[in-house]
Structure 1
Amino acid sequence: MSAADRNLSAAHAEVKTEIARTDAKTALLLAFVGAVLAGTWTIARDLPLNRPALVVGGVGLALLVGAAGLLLRSVRPNLSGRHGFPLWATLTAEEISTAVGGDLAADIAGLSRLAVTKFTCLRRAVDLTQVGGALLILAALLTLGGAAW
């Protein structure tokens, strides 16, 4: 195996590892967002919320729901058939041998685009989670402080 082949194989493995890391991070963050949503609902439904707390908390919850949507989009399977097993499912045994032995660089490029899309969704979801969480904390402070509008 040449140095170029080893480099391509290493790059291919790296991209696949990054996709797996993104999916793992996404799963953890989705569980966290779900727990925050459930906890917020459980606590807030029994509190006498004032108008500012309702508005701020409602926006915070909406942002968390948006974050959950981005996270779900990130882990949604891409079955377009361009790379890996979705492609192989459309091929005959002989075509699979050709595809597997074919252009690894094209597969790396396609998987890298997939990884960037996943990371972008994850990054945006983290941003929304941070802002939504901060707004929920502000809503709790407004409720505890008794601010009236």
Structure 2
Amino acid sequence: MRAPLAIYLEVIENYNKSGTILRHTQVIREYLNIKPDGSDARHLIVISIGAAARTKDEPSDLINVAIEELIRQQYELQQDNTYTSWNFLKQDPGTPTITHLKDLVNYLTWLSLQNVGIEVLSNIPDIKIKQFAAEANTLNAAQMKALEPNK
């Protein structure tokens, strides 16, 4: 006889909250020789994307390079989006209302406190910097507004 769906969901929820899932996860990692996600994996992501960015432009290509490198070095892949800082960094400032302008000022203040100097550009090839500058110079405000959101 099958258990009703509610009982099944309760069992799964209790399992997910228990210490058993942590022990099972550890045993599976050891059996498959998989390293858990952590600071070493994040460092590997930064290094692999940094190297790939010298020749690739598309974010999807950069993400694929990072995923391939994580898999190659046997790191566990995250099942959810834990990289919310990047999402925060790339947010559009919104319409020019007082509230959005205040948010933009707060954002720019936060950004200036991140202490990122010009030296972060030192490893970017000159041709990429020129490409970025050319893209920025070719669009005026009206053209930028006409761009599709995913660009």
TM-score above 0.5, yes or no:
no
The structure richer in helix per residue is 1
The higher relative CO (CA closer than 8 Å, separation ≥ 6) is in 1
